[in-house]
Amino acid sequence: MKVGFIGLGTMGAFMAANLQRAGYQLVIHDVRREAGANRIAAGAIWADTPQSVAEQCEVIFTSLPGPKEVEAVVFGPQGLLAGIQPGAAYFDLSTNAQSLMRRVGEAMAEKGAHGFDAPVSGGPKGAETGQLAIWVGGDKAVYERCKPVLDAIGDQAAHLGPIGSATVAKLVHNMAGYAIQTVMAEVFSMGVKGGMDPLDLWAAVRQGAYGRRRAFDRLADQFLIDQYEPPAFALKLAHKDVTLAVNMARELGVPMRFCQLTLEEMNEALNRGWGELDSRAPMRLQVERAGVQIKCDPAAIQAVLERDG
């Protein structure tokens, strides 16, 4: 099987190298030919255009900066669509826009090919070692057929649903991470201005209840099952803690934009009469605003926790 790979930047170069180590014949392309020098030296075939890659390969990957580049590679002159073969599978490993990936999927289907959004998570180190999560959206049967190729890139490939599903998961994951880091900057700046050494502060809080458990696992207890009573820790008590923290920050002259918003959410929840419910009850407010329903089977949640450790 010939495998195409377009985009040999920091992530792409490592992933392409792992495909070669797994024994796949690579056909490569990048806007800079010199980016492919190591892969060519290891036996890869250079293609001058994305179209040429598509004409030669059954499975094609792109690892590109974003939607603008993916759009050009897929739909542009001498792009993938101009050369894609019936039955071929195209996986975009980039973090992309859901609307674009759905359009890519439709365009590939018109050619008798299969499009997938397949964003990865694990960073450059994971790309180098092959320890990557690959979230995949698209036809499940074709995904299963191509999974051995995906397994050469990452150790946690998973099919999530139709095309666009994987992009949703990646954006939720990344947005959560960046929002959390913003809050961490707020609270740590408050702690240091309050007189603590940052290393001592970090060493202490990582042993607390929040520090000892994976962040996303916390959603299983109340939020995913939509059950906030009996409380593990009552909202009225959590509101007291957050009020104390925000007040201390104000006394210290530390801006706390995210934390102030957290207090406002708690205030609204208290005004609903939710003080005796669990401290995560304010999460219901956002679910209401979004107009969605979140209520998962506790047994199914437990099965995921046991499966993934």
Least confident of 12-21, 213-222, 244-253, 296-305: 213-222
- Would you call 170 a catalytic residue per the annotation? yes
**To which H or E segment does residue 236 belong?**
helix 235-252
Per residue in 46-59, pLDDT (tens digit) is: 999 999 999 999 99
Rounded Cα gap, residues 164 and 166, in angstroms: 6
Residues 6+ apart with CB under 8 A from 226: 284, 294, 295
Q: Is the pLDDT of residue 209 over 90?
A: no
User: Omega before 124 cis (within 30°)?
Assistant: no
Computed on alpha carbons and rounded to an integer, the radius of gyration of the chain in Å comes to 24
Taking every pair of C-alpha atoms in the chain, what is the biggest distance, in angstroms? Answer: 68
Phi, psi of 267 (to 5 degrees): -60, -45
Residue 307 — very low, low, confident or very high, per pLDDT cuts 50/70/90? confident
- Taking residues 266-280, what's their average pLDDT? 97
Q: Of the candidates 214, 245, 220, 244, which has an alpha carbon nearest to the alpha carbon of residue 232?
A: 220
Rounded Cα gap, residues 29 and 76, in angstroms: 15
Paired with 46 in beta bridges are: 28
Contact 224, 284 (CB under 8 A): no
Give the relative orientation of helices 198-205 and 165-193 as an angle to the nearest 10 degrees.
Answer: 130
Angle, vertex CA 20, rays to CA 115 and CA 65, nearest 5: 50
Rounded Cα gap, residues 11 and 146, in angstroms: 20
What's the confidence (pLDDT) of residue 242? 95
The pTM of this model reads 0.90
The catalytic residue among 147, 170, 193, 240 is 170
Average per-residue pLDDT in the chain? Answer: 95
Per residue in 133-170, pLDDT (tens digit) is: 999 999 999 999 999 999 999 999 999 999 999 999 99
In this structure, what token pair is assigned to residue 262?
């957290």
User: Which amino acid is located at 284 in the chain?
Assistant: R
Strand positions, DSSP E, 122-241: 133-137, 156-161
